[in-house]
């Protein structure tokens, strides 16, 4: 039986932890092989606490890499890769796009996860989701590296941005992550450079747990879920029953 797989495309080294760490841990426990790609380390724009200590750029990148690797280990992710494309701004050239296309074809994911389509507070984020959509398209093209197996039609799930009401992001999927919450909490605490976000994202998970309960049964008795993550799907789903 072929292994199922999933792909996470994260602009910075910590994004996957805050926004879909539960999904990573849960799907690994279900037998998926989840590959994480960090396009940058978030070394310039998302490492303020480290810059305040007088560290150099290379020192900060090394710290961020170690934090992300530790977090991925806590989530039991199958693989984590770093493209080191820089941040603020994140620049993804054609070679990097083709590298991501190759990865999509090799991983052959059941689904892909990335950022919201719009983020006026962090252009790196919305550029990443745009790149994910573009590379998905290229990976589906028979004319790109003819003879290779082309990508199918994996769903793209947009994980929750930091200020949802500013991003035009509307969740249509709530994922119960209660059984893997302790793994996510451990992963959160690996991101020492942004410890101010630990409690924030615990609160987000609790709030989304409430939404899961309400949407799974409401007043008649929903499924018990203390923690959840929310996502917005990009492409239609093909179904045989509702």
The pTM of the full predicted model, rounded to 2 decimals, is 0.96
Instruction: Judge whether 116 and 161 are in contact, CB under 8 Å.
Output: yes
- Tell me how far apart the alpha carbons of residues 156 and 129 are, in angstroms, rounded to a whole number: 9
176: nearest Cα among 234, 223, 136: 223
| SS3 state at 230 | strand
Instruction: Please state, in angstroms and rounded to a whole number, the distance separating the CA atoms of residues 9 and 154.
Output: 13
Q: Identify the H or E element spanning 184.
A: helix 181-190
**Beta bridge pairs of residue 173:** 231
- Residue ranges of alpha helices (H) inside 157-241 are 164-167, 181-190, 198-215
Q: Say if CB 69 and CB 115 are below 8 A apart.
A: no
The predicted model gives 203-219 an average pLDDT of: 91
What does the pLDDT look like over 188-207, one tens digit per residue? 999 987 888 889 999 999 99
Residue percentage of the chain with pLDDT more than 90: 90
| The pLDDT of residue 194 | 83
Q: Peptide bond preceding 205: is omega within 30 degrees of 0, i.e. cis?
A: no
Q: Tell me the pLDDT of the chain averaged across its residues.
A: 95
How many alpha carbons fall within 13 Å on the CB side of residue 222? 16
Strand partners, 158: 114, 232
**CA–CA separation, 213 and 205 (whole Å):** 12
pLDDT tops 80 at residue 96: yes
Q: pLDDT tens, 49-72?
A: 889 999 999 999 999 999 999 999
Average pLDDT of the segment spanning 134-154 = 98
pLDDT above 70 (res 1): no
Cβ–Cβ contacts within 10 Å for residue 100, how many?
A: 24
What does 44-79 look like in DSSP terms, one character per residue?
Answer: TTS-HHHHTTT--HHHHHHHHHHHHHHHHHHTT-SE
Lowest mean pLDDT among 99-113, 145-159, 169-183, 191-205: 191-205
CATH ID of 5-233, from 3.40.50.10320, 3.40.50.300, 1.10.150.530, 3.40.50.880: 3.40.50.10320
- The three-class DSSP label of residue 92 is coil
Q: Tokens 């006026």 label which residue? A: 120
**Which pair of tokens denotes residue 139?**
């990976």
Residue 219's pLDDT band, with cuts at 50, 70 and 90, is: low
- pLDDT score of 78: 98
Q: What is the mean pLDDT of residues 221-229?
A: 89
Let me know: does 163 contact 79? Beta carbons within 8 Å.
no
- What's phi and psi for 55, nearest 5 deg? -75, 160
Residue 190: CB partners within 8 Å, gap ≥ 6?
17, 67, 68, 70, 71, 74
Q: How confident is the model at residue 76 (pLDDT cuts 50, 70, 90)?
A: very high
């Amino acid at each position: 039986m072929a292994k199922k797989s999933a792909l996470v495309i994260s602009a910075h080294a910590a994004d996957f932890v805050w926004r879909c760490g539960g999904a990573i841990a849960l799907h690994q426990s279900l037998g998926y092989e989840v590959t994480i790609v960090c396009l940058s380390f978030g070394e310039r724009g998302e490492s303020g606490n480290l810059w305040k200590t007088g560290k150099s750029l290379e020192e900060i990148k090394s710290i961020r890499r170690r934090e992300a690797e530790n977090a991925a280990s806590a989530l039991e992710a199958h693989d984590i890769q770093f493209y080191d494309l820089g941040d603020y701004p994140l620049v993804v050239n054609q070679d990097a796009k083709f590298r991501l296309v190759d990865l999509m074809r090799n991983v052959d994911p059941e689904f892909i996860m990335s950022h919201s389509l719009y983020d006026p507070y962090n252009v790196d984020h919305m550029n990443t989701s745009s790149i994910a959509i573009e590379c998905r398209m290229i990976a589906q093209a028979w004319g790109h590296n003819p003879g290779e197996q082309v990508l199918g039609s994996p769903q793209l799930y947009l994980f929750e941005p930091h200020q949802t009401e500013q991003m035009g992001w509307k969740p249509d999927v709530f994922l119960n992550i209660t059984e893997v919450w302790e793994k996510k909490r451990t992963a959160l605490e690996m991101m020492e450079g942004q410890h101010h976000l630990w409690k924030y994202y615990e609160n987000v998970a609790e709030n989304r747990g409430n939404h899961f309960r309400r949407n799974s049964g409401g007043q008649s008795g929903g499924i018990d879920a203390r923690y959840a993550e929310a996502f917005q799907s990009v492409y239609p789903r093909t179904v045989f029953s509702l």
